[in-house]
Amino acid sequence: GEVAGEWMERLRERKRAENTLLDYGRKLNNQILPVLGNRSIKAIARRDCLALKQDIERRGSLDQSDRVMSLMRQIFQFAIDREYRSGENPARASEFSKSAHKTKHYPYLQFDEMPGFFAALEANEVNGDRVTVLAVKALLLTGMRVGGLMPMQWPEVDADTRVITIPKERMKNAGYIENDHLIPIAD
């Protein structure tokens, strides 16, 4: 538990996204620490990590079991780097430790479906709010993230230079970004 706390603090110092820290904290507090948290980092074996992963799989949460194992792998690697323990990482990945989870991808349009989509968007066939329709068009023309477009302010749009400036503080990995993000405005 202490090593996991130190690892989380290190992530905060490195300015990881708040949502990432919340997600990691939930996995730690709800799944990992109740099982392994009171044990010495040196005493936790591979079988302990696999048992925890298999318990999560038995609940039917295959993807979650892989994510928890990945989180444990990071914490143990941190402990090895800090010389709190030695030897192999007990949460190491292997062909046999990965669950049978099959990723389900989001639906998407095929290339030949795009003209119909653009026509339906232009005609507003779904009777969407005008701002929403315009936002979808802006996303398609700029390749911006929704999180960059939605809080955008008019002073960030320079019609003279035809550039949108997203302040570095609003970027997804704000702690690692040194410059504002510049997006050219298309015809």
CA proximity to 69, closest of 41, 99, 40? 99
CA-based end-to-end distance of the chain: 55
Using the Cα atoms of residue 69, residue 73, residue 79 and residue 85 in order, give the sign of their dihedral.
Answer: positive
pLDDT band at 118, cuts 50/70/90? very high
Instruction: Specify the pLDDT at position 54.
Output: 92
Instruction: Specify the pLDDT at position 174.
Output: 65
CB neighbour class for 64 (10 Å; exposed up to 12, middle 13-18, buried from 19): middle
Q: What percent of the chain has pLDDT over 90?
A: 68
Helix (H, G, I), strand (E, B) or coil at 152: coil
- Residue 119 to residues 21, 111, 113, 127, 152: CA-CA distances in angstroms? 41, 14, 10, 13, 26
Instruction: Specify the pLDDT at position 101.
Output: 66
Specify the pairing of strand 157-158 against strand 181-184: unpaired
**What is the arithmetic mean of pLDDT over 60-74?**
93
pLDDT, one tens digit per residue, over 128-137 is 999 999 999 9
